[in-house]
Amino acid sequence: MLEFNAQQVAMMIQGNVEGDATVAVTQFGKIEEATKGQISFLANPKYEDFLYNTNASIVIVNQSLILKNPCSATLIRVPDAYAAFATLLTKYQELKAATLIGIQTPSFIATTAKLGGQHFVGAFSHIGENVEIGENVKVFPNVFIGENVKIGNNVTLNPGVVVYSECIIGNNVTIHSGAIIGSDGFGFAPKADGSYQKVPQLGNVIIEDQVEVGANATIDRATIGSTIIRKGVKLDNLVQIAHNVEIGENTVIAAQTGISGSTKVGKGIMMGGQIGVAGHLSIADGVKIAGQSGVTKSIKTANSIVTGNPAGDHNTSLRAQVHMKNLPSLEKRVKELEILVQQLTQKG
């Protein structure tokens, strides 16, 4: 368990201490539930009342906050409390990971595998032939790494991750539990008798630097060539990336989204949850796609916003949704008009 006093925390996040600089903390807590020995933060003004009653030893607050009542906790003032707390969590995680060094048993490491310094290999892990692993890589228990895999520096593979053969993972990558990197793409050729012949998947997956892959996400290897996840991409849990897909830099994709084979997704795209994207499409840079949308054709206009199934212009889709809700009343009015027209016709 790591312990820090208020002055040390302030140095990490470039803040100013207000109160007892020697008070120490070992854990994090929500401001409304925190106890002595924990550190919390206040960023949203609607939670300010909790500040005056919290049992937290240290609270990170905005510089602009003007106290309305006395506060027993030591405060650390920063320009942006939320960002500072995120930085602190990151530094804490890095320091905690730095204490994990060595190889647990039982585990299997092929004699041809090369591991850089400051590595950690958890129990029941498998590292195959000709694997190359960089500096400060953490391989947690029950991880499988196939032959000829290349992994950069500062990579974390959480418990149960599977990396198939030939895949390449860059620097500063985090892959969460249960994720599968490089499983076969969904390739089957229909035969005359109605059955299907499997198409061998001979490519690999390339994950560039600063990517995060969520728990139980799956990234299929290419049929030929590479499935590519570019620098800075963030994938949520339960995301499916099919064979030969390319995801552009700094794109974020929320949970339960599936992208079909050979689709090219641009840079800086934001995709909500439960989106389905058809194969062999292209999506322009900066596009925002609302959750549960179905993308059935390429989106060529950069920085556009699309919604619906099939996905279309956001404003047009919203108007269509309004009209859909009004259909029952519109149907009733049409029937009334039909009756009225019929009566007028009969009188004429």
Active site residues: 243
Q: Which residue matches tokens 């099919």? A: 242
* CA dist., res. 151 & res. 153, Å (int): 7
Assess contact for 239 and 255: CB atoms under 8 A: yes
To the nearest 5 percent, what fractions of the chain are helix, strand and coil?
20, 30, 50
Give the residues across from 219 on adjacent strands: 181, 241
* CA dist., res. 321 & res. 329, Å (int): 14
Q: Find the Cα–Cα–Cα–Cα dihedral 162, 263, 238, 92, rounded to 10°.
A: 70
φ and ψ at 51, to 5 degrees? Answer: -60, -35
Assess contact for 139 and 163: CB atoms under 8 A: no
DSSP 106: S
* CA dist., res. 209 & res. 335, Å (int): 62
Assess contact for 164 and 183: CB atoms under 8 A: yes
**Which structure tokens are listed for 158?**
């959480």
Indicate the burial class of 256 (C-beta count within 10 angstroms; 0-12, 13-18, 19 or more): middle
